[in-house]
Structure 1
Amino acid sequence: MYQGQTIFSQVMGFLPQNKFRQCVKRYHGNYRVRSFTCYDQLLCMAFAQLTYRESLRDIECCLRAMQDKLYHMGIRGKVVRSTLADANEKRDWRIYSDFALTLIHEARKLYIDDDFGLELKDTVYALDASTIDLCLSLFPWARFRRSKGAVKLHTLLDLRGDIPTFIWITDGKVHDVNVLDILVPEPGSIYLMDRAYLDFKRLYELHQCSAIFVTRTKTNTKLRRIYSHKVDKTTCVRCDQTVALTGFYSKKDYPEKLRRVKFFDAEKGRSFVFLTNQFMLPAHTIAELYRYRWRVEIFFKWIKQHLRIKSFYGTSQNAVKTQIWIAISTYVLVAIMKKRLRIDLPLYTILQILSITLFEKMPILQAFTADDYRNKITSGHMQLKLFDS
C-alpha cells in the first residue's frame, strides 16, 4: 500500500519554492506574520482553484475536515476564514503576479518546440481582452458602466502550448488597444489581433520594433492599392495587394506600405479582409494565422469555466488581483506538470481528476492512467456454486 505524499503535495512539488520565497521577500509578504504565511495562502487558494470552492467558508470547511492531512500537504498555519480573508486583502498581489510570471517563463521553455498547427519557426502570439462582470456596489473601484462594474483581462497568449505570457488586469473602462502602450514587442514575433487593436500609430511602433502583426481592417479604413499580386483562388484567397493608407491622420501615423489580403470563408459564407506588415508569407498562410487567433478566445472561455475567476472571495482590488494571479499560476502549474510527466490528457480532464483525488495517497501518474482491468470469469468450473443442482 502506498504511504507517500498526497496528490496535492505531489502537484505542489512542481512549484519552485525558492523562486516563491524571493517574490515574498521582494514585497515583504511575511512581515510580522506569525503563523499563516504567504505560502500557506498560496496553497489554500490553489486548493480552492483545483476543487472549485465557492467561498472562503467553503475553503475553511473542506480543509478543516482534512485537518490531519494539512501538515503533509504543506499547510503549516491554521486555516481560518478571517485569516485567509485578511491575507487576500492586505498581502501585496504583486507577490503572486511575479511568481506567475516565473511559472510562465518555465512553462514556455517546456512548450517551445510544440506545433500549434502551422509550420512556422516564429513565435506566434494571440492578443485579446476579456471582461469579467462585477457588482458595482460590492466592487466600486471596478467601474465599467453607470450601474455596472467589471475587470478586464488583457492577455497575450503564446500559441505553442496556449501559455499566457502577459496579463494586464484593469477596470472595465480601459480600452483594449491601450495594452499596446505597455507591451514590449519581440522582434520577429507574430502578433494576431482583432479590429479593436487597429490603431496605426501603435501598429507602426510594432513595425519599427521588427515585430509582425496580422489584424482585420475596418470598413471605413481608407486604403489605396499600389500593386496586386497573383493569387490561387482555390485556397479561397480573393486578393493579395500592397496598399498604402490615404487618410490624413492614418497616413501620418503609418507612413509605410501595408499588405491587404481578402479571404472568403466558405463555411461561414463571409469575407474577411486582413492587414499585415508581413510580405513574405503566402496569402493563404496569413488567413490561416488569423484563424488561430480564436485560441485566445477559447482560453478565456476555458479559464472562466474551470477556474474560480468569475466569483471572488474578496471585494478589494488587491483580493481580486490576488485570486486571478493565483488562478493563472494554477493553470500554468498544471500545464508544467502535464509536460514533465508526459500526461497524454487534455487540461480539462487533468483538472477534473485532480478535483476528486487531491487527498488520495497514490503515485500521481496512477491517477491519470486508465485502468481497463476487469475481473472476468472465463471458465465455469472455477466458479463456486451457491446451490447444488
Structure 2
Amino acid sequence: MNTGKTLFAQVMEFIPWTSFSRIVDRYGGDSRVRSLPCTEQFRAMAFAQLTYRESLRDIETCLLSNHGKLYGMGFRQPVRRSTLADANEGRDWHIWADLAALLIRKARKLYSQDDFAVDLENTVYALDATTIDLCLSLFPWASFRTTKSAVKMHTLLDLRGNIPAFIHVTNGSIHDVNVMDMIPFESGAFYVMDRGYLDFERLYALHQRGAYFVTRAKSNTRSRRICSQPVDRTTGIICDQRISLTVKKSAMDYPDQLRRVRFKDPVSGKSLVFLTNNTLLSPLAIAQLYKSRWQVELFFKWIKQHLRIKRFIGNSENAVKTQIWCAVATYVLIAIIKKELQIDASLYTLLQILSVSVFEKTHILRAFQPDPNSDNSSENSNQLKLFDF
C-alpha cells in the first residue's frame, strides 16, 4: 500500500525541473537518448552524494535493492552502471554547472539577510582554491606535477550563508590568481583573499570597478608611507597608514594609494599586515574581515568530508566535472531545503539523516525533526560547526 512519497522524492521536489528542462534543451542533453535522461542522471548522482556511494557498481546495487521504490523516486527504469558511466562521459558538464548556478541564485536570496561577523551591509566574499589530488595514470589530462595529477576548485564564497557564488574547476597547474580575470566583480562588495592573489594589476582592475578588497601583504612588498591615522593599540591594531608602492612595475600596475593596516594577534602574537582599498571601515573591522576568510577554508574541509569529490566514478575531464558540479548542486539543494523549511539542524545532520532514510516514506519535516528525548551532548565534538546557525 502506498503511504506517501519517499524522502528522496520529497527532496527532489525542490529542484526547479521546468528551468532544468530549458538547460537540458540548451545543450541537447537528451538528444537521441533512449534511457536515463538528464533528470534521472542527476537523481542518480544526487543519490550517490546523499548516501555516500563511491562507485558505479555501488550506485547500481543500492538502487536495485529497492527496485519497488524506484518509480516513485523518479526512475522509469533501473539505473545500470554502464549507462550512467556513458552519460557522465558524454553529456556536457555545463548542464550541471548551470543547474548549480540556478540553485545558487535561489540559495543566496534565501540567505542574504543572515547575520555576519562584521556589522556591514555590503556583500562579503572570500576567494580561495582547493586542490583535489588525482592519480596521474588515470587522469593524465589534469596536469599538476611530474608525478601526480590534480584539479583545482576555485571558489568565491558568499560569507552570508556560506553559499558558493562562483566556482571554476581547472587543472591543478593553473595558478590561483588567474581566476580573478573570470570573476564579475560587484560594485560595493568586499573580496577577501590571501597573499596568493596579490597581483596589483588585477587588484587595480577590481578597484576601478568600485569593489573593495582585503588581502595580506607579502614580505617583499615595497612601499612608502604617506600618512598615518591614530589607532587604539589595545585592540591589537599597531598602525593604520596610507601608502604608495615604490617598485616601478607595482606602481604602474596600481598607481593609486593603498591602505596598510598592521595587526598583532593577541593570542598567537603574530603580526599581520593587511592591504585594502577601503578607507571608511575601522582598522579593526579590516582585521575582522580578513579573519572571516577562514570560512572558505572550513567550507573546503566540509565538502571534502561530507561530499563525494575525492573519489571519482569516471576518469575523463567531463566525468570529473560532472561529479563535482552535481555535488555542488546537491549541497546547495540541501541548504535551500534547510532555509525554506526553517529546519533547526546543521547541514551535517540533514545529510546524515538522508544517508540512511532516502527510501523511507516519511514526511520531510518529521524526518528532520530532532527527537526531544535524544541527548545532543554525545555529538562528536570534532565535527565542523560551519553550518550550525
Q: TM-score range by the shorter chain?
A: over 0.9
Aligned partner of 2:53 in structure 1 is 53
Aligned partner of 2:255 in structure 1 is 255
3-state DSSP class of the match of 1:141?
coil
Instruction: Give 1:78 shift.
Output: 2.6
Aligned partner of 2:268 in structure 1 is 268
Aligned partner of 2:182 in structure 1 is 182
* Aligned equivalents of 1:93, 1:371: Cα separation in 2: 40
CA contact (8 A) 2:226 2:242 kept: yes
Aligned partner of 2:303 in structure 1 is 303
CA contact (8 A) 1:35 1:78 kept: no
Number of aligned residue pairs: give it. 374
3-state DSSP class of the match of 2:34?
coil
Q: How does 1:353-364 map to 2 (within 5 A)?
A: 353-364=353-364
* Aligned equivalents of 1:41, 1:280: Cα separation in 2: 50
CA RMSD of aligned residues (A): 1.1
TM-score normalised by structure 2 residue count:
0.95
Aligned partner of 2:293 in structure 1 is 293
Name whichever of 241-250 and 69-78 sits farther off: 69-78
CA contact (8 A) 1:187 1:211 kept: yes
* Aligned equivalents of 2:296, 2:75: Cα separation in 1: 34
1:148-167 Cα offsets, whole Å, 9 max, x none, are 10000000000010000100
Aligned partner of 1:245 in structure 2 is 245
Aligned partner of 2:134 in structure 1 is 134
Instruction: Give 1:36 shift.
Output: 1.0
* Aligned equivalents of 1:118, 1:75: Cα separation in 2: 46
Aligned partner of 1:77 in structure 2 is 77
Q: How does 1:330-341 map to 2 (within 5 A)?
A: 330-341=330-341
* Aligned equivalents of 2:70, 2:354: Cα separation in 1: 17
Instruction: Give 1:34 shift.
Output: 1.0
Percent identical among aligned pairs is 61
3-state DSSP class of the match of 1:226?
strand
1:202-248 Cα offsets, whole Å, 9 max, x none, are 00000000000000000000010000100011110000000000001
Aligned partner of 2:147 in structure 1 is 147
* Aligned equivalents of 1:246, 1:321: Cα separation in 2: 43
Aligned partner of 1:231 in structure 2 is 231
CA contact (8 A) 2:63 2:78 kept: no
TM-score normalised by structure 1 residue count:
0.95
CA contact (8 A) 1:37 1:77 kept: no
Aligned partner of 2:202 in structure 1 is 202
* Aligned equivalents of 1:2, 1:255: Cα separation in 2: 70
3-state DSSP class of the match of 2:352?
helix
Aligned partner of 2:368 in structure 1 is 368
3-state DSSP class of the match of 2:40?
helix
Which structure's CA Rg is the greater one? 1
Instruction: Give 1:75 shift.
Output: 1.3
3-state DSSP class of the match of 1:314?
coil
Q: Which amino acid aligns with 2:264?
A: F
* Aligned equivalents of 2:2, 2:370: Cα separation in 1: 18
CA contact (8 A) 1:40 1:77 kept: no
- Displaced runs of 4+ in structure 1, greater than 4 A? none
CA contact (8 A) 2:132 2:151 kept: yes
3-state DSSP class of the match of 1:239?
strand
Instruction: Give 1:266 shift.
Output: 1.4
Aligned partner of 2:95 in structure 1 is 95
3-state DSSP class of the match of 1:326?
helix
Instruction: Give 1:77 shift.
Output: 3.0
Aligned partner of 1:379 in structure 2 is none
Instruction: Give 1:117 shift.
Output: 1.6
Instruction: Give 1:320 shift.
Output: 0.2
3-state DSSP class of the match of 1:131?
strand
Aligned partner of 2:121 in structure 1 is 121
Aligned partner of 1:21 in structure 2 is 21
CA contact (8 A) 1:198 1:217 kept: yes
3-state DSSP class of the match of 2:244?
strand
CA contact (8 A) 1:153 1:168 kept: yes
Q: Unpaired runs of 5+ in structure 1?
A: 375-389
CA contact (8 A) 2:67 2:78 kept: no
* Aligned equivalents of 2:371, 2:150: Cα separation in 1: 45
Q: Which amino acid aligns with 1:55?
A: S
1:44-71 Cα offsets, whole Å, 9 max, x none, are 0000000000100000000000111000
Are residues 1:173 and 2:186 paired? no
* Aligned equivalents of 2:58, 2:268: Cα separation in 1: 45
Instruction: Give 1:40 shift.
Output: 0.6
Q: Which amino acid aligns with 1:46?
A: A
3-state DSSP class of the match of 2:299?
helix
Instruction: Give 1:373 shift.
Output: 5.5
Q: Which amino acid aligns with 2:201?
A: K
Q: Which amino acid aligns with 1:48?
A: A
Aligned partner of 1:6 in structure 2 is 6
* Aligned equivalents of 1:347, 1:65: Cα separation in 2: 27
* Aligned equivalents of 1:207, 1:118: Cα separation in 2: 21
